[in-house]
Structure 1
Amino acid sequence: MIVSILKEIAPENRVSILPEQIDALQKMHVEVWVEMSAGEKAHATDNGYLLKNVAIKDRTAILQSSDIILSINGLTPNDLAHIKPGTVLLGVFQPLFNAALMKHYAERNLTVFSIDMIPRTTRAQSMDVLSSQANIAGYKAVLLAADLYPRYFPMFMTAAGSIPPAKVLILGAGVAGLQAIATARRLGAVVEVFDTRPAVKEEVMSLGAKFVEVEGAADATAAGGYAVEQSKEYQQKQQKKIFEAVGKADIIITTAQIPGKKAPLLITEEMMLNIKRGSVIIDLAAATGGNTPHTHNNKTIDYNGITIVGNSNLAATMPYDASKLYGKNILNFLQLIINKEGAFVANFEDELVKGCCITYDGDVVHDKIKVLVDSAGVLE
């Protein structure tokens, strides 16, 4: 069986598997192919792969002959024209936002595993690409903010006078938010945090930040670690608290997303008027609409003296380490779908395999995506 690694389309800098991880893949008794220059932007050369006795192929050859293709992002229309039916795709395809594309993959008889849909259970932690990449994003968000912010982060007391520490406000204490807290604290900032899940309060405080509590949050224990939609009453209370906090903040990092839905608007137009000039907002939810009314994905804008950065893929700005962590997640998952003889096995008795399988045998098989596909069909 041939397992291949595709080169990602710009501006993606990561690669699914680094040369140093090829040994683990080959131990699964598969033949490994790599597209030319696949790891170039992650500082992994073709020679590095050749030293691991893999075959370097062009894109068309990989699409036409591979049994399993590893591609972080989805395929292009041109790719689909060349790929053979029955091929297994494994990557991060955001099927909740790309249901029509998933239907198209099914019609081409492609088996699609979207690893971002893996159930967030204890057993799945070693395969959780959202967490491994969000950890990097939270770290890089603070460094980016520090670079753009026109003042110091830490407090300085000098003969020429004292500089107060930067005030950082973090909206959302998931994996990215918690790493942002830790990084901002290391740089000497004072940090306040909002989250709709009271359960994260202890983690936030253990990192040296202040947790701003809003009473009446909906129970998120069944959401697999994600945020859930809140009542209007709660949202009004939350907005009042956030309005007060943004007026004091120098740096704001927003991370709030709800699976399959537009990112919640946490910073309203009214709040924007209360933010100080020179402040910086890093919006990690930009790809799903953003947490501010002026976020543009993959753009940095100036709004009344406030710098707003929309970037949901900050992990790609640290491509080597991001690829290393992502590759480990993928290798762990591949062990569930490749047997000891090196053949593909679709074991739908395994909740992790079933949970991230989107299409199989010509059909959309994931319940949530099926609903979206059916709804789109009704609308058409």
Structure 2
Amino acid sequence: MTTVGVLRETAGRERRVALTPDGVGRLRRGGEFRVLVEAGAGRTAWFGDDAYAEAGAEIGPRQQVYDESDVLVVVRPPDDLAALPAGRILIGLLDPLGDPALAEMLAGQGVTAISLDLLPRTLSRAQPMDALTSQANVAGYKAALLAAEAYGGFFPMLVTAAGTSRPAQVLVLGAGVAGLQAIATARRLGALVTGYDVREAARADIASTGAAVLELGEGQNTEDGYARQLAEDEAARQLAALTSAVPRFDVVITTAKVPGGRSPLLVSEEALAALKPGSVVIDLGGNVAGASDDTRAVTEHGVTVIGAPNLASTVPVAASTAYARNVVALVSSLMPEGRLISDSADEVMAAVLLTHGGDVVHPRLRDRPKAKESR
């Protein structure tokens, strides 16, 4: 029987867990898997050890999970990966494009690494495994709530005996999964919402929500669903147009990322300075000048800027539940009898397999120059 281990997350401010008690039950249903959970692994996501035990998992200390697990499932790479023995399988959101040194380290340890964030959204069979989408959905929802909490006025128009308050004007930059969920949630809260994306198809998605579309010129047509990194002159024109448009809004939420590339700058220092005092900017995508991760600051002009790259972890029950279902779907597909399939032609396996047999095997990373830095 194959043992799947669940570790407590060690990344700062990470509250999610890779497998919930519900996920344990789903995974054990076929009888191929034993599940071993580190004591306290689900505590910050409000899943207690008793709930895991009731679902059929065994509870043990961290070293036991490392020693006895054939497969380890995580949300993000743990700090003590050096403890992972050769021949094990590691599954998680490993961010190898952002940290290629991690892939080299895992290959050197003889670990088979599977990274869920390499899964293309165009594979219809892989949709139940799409953790980037499930977590972005949670992040977009929370971004709208965070913006409403930080904004000093009402999101909806309210008519009271004391008068009428106008609705907040909200601009969402980037209409991927997170952006569309932020748009939808802000609209449910009663705001007047406008969305922007450089991709033509995404503009149609914005319009389908009932939000207005900010038109700034020509858009991209994409094959894989993701935006490409703009050329320098294109980026300059986009930033100039946005710098003119952004100050019209009370709240700005940025969600634009380029997989494997640098996030585009969408809100310049000039745009921040031109926003009205009391305005709010929520930066999910790393698109705001001067914004820092996991910080909240008020500029000298009275604009609240919140860097929030990991919002999904602040909704740990929903985010963990969705992520666990992604993990179960992946494991069930790639290990149908408790053993990893060896079919290199399998489209999902080819998409997510990062390291195997002591080598970095993913085509987007294996031909890169070796990273000099060490973890």
Q: What interval of TM-score do these two structures reach, taking the shorter chain for normalisation?
A: over 0.9
- 1:149 & 1:3 partners in 2: Cα distance? 44
Q: 2:167 touches 2:192 (CA, 8 Å); kept in 1? A: yes
Match of 1:303 in 2: 299
Partner SS, residue 24 of structure 1: helix
Match of 1:127 in 2: 129
Normalising by structure 1, what TM-score? 0.93
Match of 2:27 in 1: 25
Q: 1:110 touches 1:359 (CA, 8 Å); kept in 2? A: yes
- 2:226 & 2:264 partners in 1: Cα distance? 13
Q: 1:65 touches 1:84 (CA, 8 Å); kept in 2? A: no
Instruction: Indicate the larger mover: 239-248 or 25-34.
Output: 239-248
Q: 1:218 touches 1:231 (CA, 8 Å); kept in 2? A: no
Match of 1:43 in 2: 46
- 1:107 & 1:79 partners in 2: Cα distance? 12
What stretches of structure 1 of length at least 5 have no aligned partner? none
- 1:203 & 1:34 partners in 2: Cα distance? 40
CA RMSD of aligned residues (A): 1.6
Q: 2:239 touches 2:265 (CA, 8 Å); kept in 1? A: no
How far apart are 1:339 and its partner, in Å?
2.9
Q: 2:137 touches 2:177 (CA, 8 Å); kept in 1? A: yes
- 2:163 & 2:238 partners in 1: Cα distance? 37
How far apart are 1:182 and its partner, in Å?
0.7
How far apart are 1:253 and its partner, in Å?
0.2
- Partner residue of 2:326 out of 323, 326, 329: 329
How far apart are 1:40 and its partner, in Å?
0.9
For residues 315-354 of structure 1, the aligned pairs below 5 Å read 315-340=312-337, 342-354=338-350
Match of 1:363 in 2: 359
Q: 2:24 touches 2:56 (CA, 8 Å); kept in 1? A: no
Q: 1:167 touches 1:190 (CA, 8 Å); kept in 2? A: yes
Match of 1:243 in 2: 243
Match of 1:234 in 2: 234
Post-superposition CA distance 1:231-263 (Å, at most 9, x none): 344334423331232111111000011111221
Q: 2:229 touches 2:262 (CA, 8 Å); kept in 1? A: no
Q: 1:145 touches 1:282 (CA, 8 Å); kept in 2? A: yes
- 2:208 & 2:143 partners in 1: Cα distance? 20
- 1:71 & 1:89 partners in 2: Cα distance? 8
How far apart are 1:225 and its partner, in Å?
1.8
Aligned residues: 368
For residues 202-241 of structure 1, the aligned pairs below 5 Å read 202-219=204-221, 221-222=222-223, 224-241=224-241
How far apart are 1:7 and its partner, in Å?
0.9
- 1:203 & 1:339 partners in 2: Cα distance? 36
- 1:375 & 1:174 partners in 2: Cα distance? 32
Match of 2:156 in 1: 154
Partner SS, residue 5 of structure 2: strand
How far apart are 1:229 and its partner, in Å?
1.7
Partner SS, residue 274 of structure 2: coil
- 2:106 & 2:81 partners in 1: Cα distance? 11
- 1:154 & 1:210 partners in 2: Cα distance? 16
Post-superposition CA distance 1:166-191 (Å, at most 9, x none): 00011001101111111111111111
- 1:50 & 1:156 partners in 2: Cα distance? 49
Match of 1:117 in 2: 118
Match of 2:279 in 1: 279
Match of 1:71 in 2: 74
- 2:216 & 2:89 partners in 1: Cα distance? 45
How far apart are 1:337 and its partner, in Å?
2.0
What stretches of structure 2 of length at least 5 have no aligned partner? none
Q: 1:142 touches 1:180 (CA, 8 Å); kept in 2? A: yes
Post-superposition CA distance 1:34-91 (Å, at most 9, x none): 1001111111110111112321111111112211000111122x341x2210110000
1:189 aligns with 2:191: yes
- 2:51 & 2:272 partners in 1: Cα distance? 49
Instruction: Indicate the larger mover: 301-310 or 163-172.
Output: 301-310
Instruction: Indicate the larger mover: 306-315 or 232-241.
Output: 232-241
Letter of the 1:376 counterpart: A
Letter of the 1:130 counterpart: L
Match of 2:371 in 1: 376
Partner SS, residue 124 of structure 2: coil
Letter of the 2:235 counterpart: Q
Instruction: Indicate the larger mover: 344-353 or 2-11.
Output: 344-353
1:201 aligns with 2:203: yes
Letter of the 1:230 counterpart: L
Normalising by structure 2, what TM-score? 0.94
